[in-house]
Amino acid sequence: MRGLRRWFLFLLLGSWIAAAVGVVAFVAISPGKSDGDAAPRKRGGAAKPTPTPPPADPCGERDLRIQAGYPVSGFFFMPKKDRCLMRAELQAMHRAGGDTVVRFGYAMQPRDVDRKGRILDKEGRQPDETFACVDGGKSCFEAAMDTLTAANPANRLQQAYVFRTDEYLGSEVLRCPSVERSVTAGAVVFHRMLVPSDGSDDPSCNFSKAGDYDLILVRSSVRDYMGELLDEADRYGMKVYPALPMGPRDPRDRSRADPEHIPALETLTRRTLQDYQRRYARHPALAGVYQGFEIQLKRWKRAEDVTTLQVYAAQHRLVRQELPGRRILVSPYLDGRKKVGFGATPDEAAAGFRAVAETGADIIAPQDGHGTGKVGLYFGDEADRRVPDRVRRVVGDTTYGEAYRGSTRDFYRLAAAERERLSMEGRQVELWANVEAFEPDGIEGCSPHGTRGRTDKARLDTAIALAGPYVNKIISYMWTDFYTCRGTHAQPLGEEILADWNRPIVIDVGAQQRGVQRGILVRGYNLDRAKVTLRPSGGAPARELDASIQGWVSSGGDPLLPRGNMSLWVPYDWEGVDPGSWIQLELVNSAGKGLARPFPFRAPQAPQAP
């Protein structure tokens, strides 16, 4: 038995060895990868799977290059709903040197309702399908009424308001979930707010006490367009100013805000800002907010009684409370026409600048007025020149001096002086220029929202020159349409800037003595290694001067002026030049480009000491 057991064990062991050898042999001779192709295996575990590459960006790779250093560095913008188109426009702005985006917004409106509780259109004639909100089989107005009377039969719904936005609004806009609701209908979200008519917006949400209430019906989006805009702008290092809700207009004077609706507007503004604070407080692209209700800069007898300024003050206080540290941008308009009763002088507009600053605005960017024909874009020696054809439809066939109370430069100069007085009083406010990238006529119409025609880069260069050394930054109305439309030109305005951004622009010239040598100081953009030609009026001869040989050029600009500013100095003895006379300055820079037009300046009244 013991021998049989040994024999059996011997056979069993032999079969194990044969099986093992067979497996090794099979592996060795089995077809497949060669030894060189076989992937080495790590000891102690199976090979790790190859990571899946991230999906390709459907909008393509971002181009973060800046191709132009043009002085206009901010643009008004209406984002496209298509995210790729929005990125393309932001990228184009950034390529042209843009670092600031001002986002248009929407206005709150009071509305009537019909017997079925349906919101009517602005004329009050028929139901407005834009606000066809249904909650539980009833109109949102009827559902709100039911909620109020259930809390207390004596509650009254005084007024219905509507507000349309393409933004997504979060939970902060509904303060009282027991009576307020959000209703989703496809890609649209209706927020049904029930708010006290006195604007108190009581956080206790006690509706059991009889009172008067308003319905604010907000139509918003399920998609966070604002978040997308902020994220995309941040990738390009750009800052965004989204618009505050605008108040209703006075039906008796559409240029003014209606003070009757300030309580409801305050509530909507507060809740919107609280929602921004919750979702975007730490977002680096959120620079502040834009006050979109426009006002004319002029002198008022009692600024505190101006209803639009009252709306400004109410909303700006809320910004300070709910979005601390963010800035408020206002872009009022100028009207310096002589033939209208409400035209203002530059001095009167400067008083209006102060009044707007006192509402809490941090940045005031007056519109330059040429695009509407309300202010003349001319230099001091051109007062007797006839206005161009494109402006005559506004002021008639006349001269600049007969048509206007001052030029764009006069208005910005006196506004800058008022800014300095405010600074001395401890109130810091920035002065920006809003250069209108359109013309009064519609010869080259680009915008589907109006009849204005697009302008060209030469006119923008002139506007920048006239804004002079008075403004801290230059923005423009608006990128969408006016910078992207070709019209009758060879290329869109945005592409004109890319092709010609390094053309010199002079913004100021003045006499300056260095030691015992008399000369002139020139400030502007793209002045590197410039050659200057001075052409005095009268009998004095023209002079050509090379700043890189006879003078100096400083690229270190004034930090309080738009980026890229620089200065140069050349010697000039003023021989034969009449005091106070006009001199035309021409300039060619190292790129071989000259000014879009000569820059005129006056000789000093008294000659400099030698």
Full DSSP string of 341-388: TT---HHHHHHHHHHHHTTT-SEE--B-STTTTSSB---GGGTTSBPP
How far apart are the two ends of the chain, measured CA to CA in Å?
135
* Residue 151: predicted pLDDT: 95
* Residue 469: predicted pLDDT: 97
Which of 466, 260, 300 lies closest to 369, judged by CA? 466
* Residue 48: predicted pLDDT: 66
* Residue 605: predicted pLDDT: 86
- The structure's pTM equals 0.89
Per-10-residue mean pLDDT of the chain, 610 residues long, equals: 38 40 37 41 56 80 94 93 94 97 96 97 96 96 96 96 94 90 95 95 91 97 95 97 97 94 97 96 97 97 96 98 97 97 97 98 97 96 96 96 98 98 98 95 67 88 97 95 86 96 98 94 96 92 94 91 96 93 97 97 76
* Residue 241: predicted pLDDT: 98
Separation of alpha carbons 573 and 577, rounded Å: 9
Strand-pair partners of 100: 74, 239
- Strands 212-221, 188-196: pairing is antiparallel
* Residue 412: predicted pLDDT: 98
Residue located via tokens 């575990």: 45
Asked whether 434 and 75 are in contact (CB, 8 A), the reply is: no
* Residue 9: predicted pLDDT: 36
What letters, b where the CB count within 10 A reaches 16 and e where it falls short, cover 360-391? Answer: bbbbbbbbbbbbbbbbbbbbeebbeeebeebb
Separation of alpha carbons 229 and 235, rounded Å: 10
**Residue 160: burial class (beta carbons within 10 Å; 0-12, 13-18, 19+):** buried
